[in-house]
């Protein structure tokens, strides 16, 4: 963890003048308290390590191109964010102190909704709420796969592999066909979009030659200013499921059952198995527990009292009514073979009944965005994420969960989160470590616990699927095969397309050579230059 810095970074009048000429006075934010509104609200109190020098707010793609040309001219790094809601991973804060933040909150237009082919085209400031509202206002028989919180950006969330729960949420399939601004201001379209006026741009995930869309996921090679979003038709039948496991020792059997149901094609989307403390707020209108460490007996008591069990799986079924009925019977057969396990399910709903939903689990899996999860969070409670990828095998998941829980509890904090089935064969153990954002000692303890997890769980062979800005270098260092060949390859690309290191230097541990204090590897972690 970096020591707090007290000198606020600033820009010269010359640089500010160029940005004001491009964006107007309302498009450039420099007043310290206003800039601080774009900081990560879940970071350590009074620590200014990741403070920006200014925030610029473009209204269109041409202005984004102009911002990058100015930034390149003066050698100032930029850190774009869509809505800045990536809480638990650094929010909107820049990895390099003194960067200019680019906020896309004004670029919030839904550019197209195509009902026949079931897709939309959006700008980066479009929230899940915005896209949902546009679909409903237009009377389209379509739905979008949404995450737990609807206030984030469709593009921003998706580009950081943020999970959603309906079928296109599996393996992050939602986005297709990107428009990207490169470091020199050049505009690039990926896939079939490379053909002018091509009608399949947002319909086909390849093109001619290497597929480029994945290069801009969790990367710092360009800034996405437009993307296609795959939608689904509202199904004839929809049923929300909650599958419970009575005791903690049933975890292995539950994981194996979900894997087999997924491989059979019975369960789709992203079935998600939650700990008691994470499941109770979603299903029982119970407040999320704070950081104070609870005993095994206390957790079991909450599990029994609420009925959510020690592990509760949120899932859903979509499709023709008869298919939903068949799948439900198969799930009861498989899940019922686990002792004391229960299958709870809603009726089979038709689309006209969605408007009556009040439970957030039913809403989210029907493509209706909510804020219930944040509304159930106690005041001043923040969290930091640690989320390794693990094979979808019960014994493997048990081993990693136990290793994570042991270290988190040794820090005096509760293990929250769950096991998200990203696909049929692998899962992500999403650990949300809670702390009081007003308590510096507790915050530092939480960040210290995660740094320990990154290192020690990494040494066991498990790496994160995304990382907080505070430990991106350490998380990337775990991917160390053949002297960190992956990182060295991506950094060659970075140096070629962004030789001045302007766009998000250091994001997920990828640095341009111009930012290194020294070129040699230091055990996998890299030391950026203070310049």
Contacts of 87 (CB under 8 A, 6+ apart): 40, 41, 42, 382, 383
Residue 172 has, within 13 A of its CA and on its CB side, a CA count of 17
Q: 488 an active-site residue?
A: no
CA distance 487 to 476: 8
Contacts of 373 (CB under 8 A, 6+ apart): 148, 149, 281, 282, 360
For 6-54, the DSSP string reads -SPP---HHHHHHHHHHH-GGGEE--HHHHHTTS-TTS-TT--TT--SE
Tell me phi and psi for residue 256, to 5 degrees: -65, -35
For 267-315, the DSSP string reads S-S--EEEEHHHHHHHHH--PPP-SBPPPHHHHHHHHHHHS--SEEEEE
b (16+ CB within 10 A) / e for 466-490: bbbbbbbbbbbbbbbeeebeebeeb
Contacts of 402 (CB under 8 A, 6+ apart): none
β partners of residue 243:
313, 343
Contacts of 237 (CB under 8 A, 6+ apart): 317, 318, 319, 320, 321, 323, 324, 325, 348, 349, 350
β partners of residue 342:
244
- Give the position of tokens 């009608």: 199
Q: Is-contact 292 208, C-beta < 8 A?
A: no
Task: Identify the active-site residue in 274, 462, 465, 471.
Answer: 465
- Enumerate helices (H) and strands (E) in the chain, giving the number of each: 15, 19
Task: Identify the active-site residue in 466, 487, 507, 526.
Answer: 466
Q: 465 an active-site residue?
A: yes
- Give the position of tokens 């899962």: 427
Q: 486 an active-site residue?
A: no
Instruction: Tell me the CA distances in angstroms from 149 to 85, 213, 232, 315, 364, one per residue in order.
Output: 9, 25, 19, 17, 9
Q: Is-contact 382 146, C-beta < 8 A?
A: no
CA distance 146 to 164: 5
Crossing angle of helices 394-410/440-459, nearest 10°? 150
b (16+ CB within 10 A) / e for 389-415: ebebbbebbbebbebbbebbeebebbb
Strands 381-386 and 311-319, bridge-based pairing: unpaired
Residue 276's Cβ-count burial label (10 Å; 0-12, 13-18, 19+) is buried
Task: Identify the active-site residue in 38, 89, 349, 462.
Answer: 89
Catalytically annotated residues:
89, 465-466
């Amino acid at each position: 963890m970096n020591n707090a810095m007290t000198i606020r970074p600033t820009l010269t009048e010359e640089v500010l003048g160029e940005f004001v000429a491009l964006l107007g006075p309302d498009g450039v934010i420099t007043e310290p308290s206003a800039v601080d509104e774009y900081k990560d609200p879940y970071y350590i109190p009074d620590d200014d390590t990741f403070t920006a020098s200014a925030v610029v707010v473009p209204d269109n793609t041409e202005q984004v191109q102009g911002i990058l040309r100015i930034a390149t001219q003066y050698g100032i790094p930029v850190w774009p964010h869509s809505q800045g809601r990536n809480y638990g991973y650094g929010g909107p804060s820049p990895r390099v102190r003194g960067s200019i933040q680019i906020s896309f909150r004004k670029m919030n237009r839904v550019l197209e909704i195509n009902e026949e082919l079931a897709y939309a085209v959006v700008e980066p400031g479009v929230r899940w709420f915005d896209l949902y509202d546009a679909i409903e206002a237009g009377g389209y028989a379509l739905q979008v796969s949404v995450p737990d919180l609807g206030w984030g950006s469709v593009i921003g969330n998706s580009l950081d592999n943020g999970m959603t729960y309906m079928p296109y949420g599996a393996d992050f399939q939602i986005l297709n066909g990107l428009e990207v601004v490169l470091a020199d201001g050049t505009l690039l379209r990926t896939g079939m979009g490379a053909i002018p006026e091509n009608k399949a741009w947002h319909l086909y995930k390849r093109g001619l030659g290497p597929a480029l869309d994945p290069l801009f996921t969790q990367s710092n090679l360009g800034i996405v200013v437009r993307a296609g979003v795959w939608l689904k038709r509202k199904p004839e039948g929809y049923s929300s499921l909650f599958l419970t496991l009575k005791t903690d020792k049933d975890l292995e059997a539950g994981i194996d059952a979900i894997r087999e149901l997924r491989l059979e094609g019975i369960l789709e989307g992203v079935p998600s198995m939650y700990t008691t403390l994470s499941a109770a707020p979603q299903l029982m209108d119970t407040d999320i527990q704070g950081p104070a460490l609870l005993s095994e007996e206390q957790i079991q008591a909450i599990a029994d009292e609420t009925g959510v069990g020690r592990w509760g799986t949120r899932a859903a079924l979509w499709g023709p009514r008869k298919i939903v009925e068949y799948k439900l019977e198969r799930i009861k057969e498989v899940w019922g073979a686990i002792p004391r396990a229960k299958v709870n399910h809603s009726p089979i709903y038709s689309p006209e009944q969605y408007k009556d939903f009040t439970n957030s689990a039913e809403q989210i899996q029907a493509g209706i965005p909510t804020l219930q999860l944040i509304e159930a969070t106690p005041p001043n409670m923040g969290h930091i994420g640690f989320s390794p990828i693990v094979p979808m095998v019960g014994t493997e998941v048990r081993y990693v969960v136990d290793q994570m829980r042991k270290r988190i509890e040794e820090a005096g904090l509760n293990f929250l989160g769950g096991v998200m089935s990203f696909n049929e064969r692998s899962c992500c153990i999403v650990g949300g470590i809670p702390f009081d954002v007003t308590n510096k000692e507790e915050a530092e303890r939480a960040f210290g616990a995660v740094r320990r997890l990154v290192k020690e769980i990494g040494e066991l062979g498990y790496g994160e699927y995304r990382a907080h800005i505070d430990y991106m270098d350490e998380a990337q260092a775990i991917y160390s095969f053949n002297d960190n060949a992956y990182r060295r390859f991506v950094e060659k690309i970075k140096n070629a397309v962004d030789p001045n290191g302007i766009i998000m230097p250091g994001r997920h541990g990828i640095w341009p050579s111009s930012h290194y204090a020294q070129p040699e590897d230091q055990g996998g972690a890299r030391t950026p230059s203070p310049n």
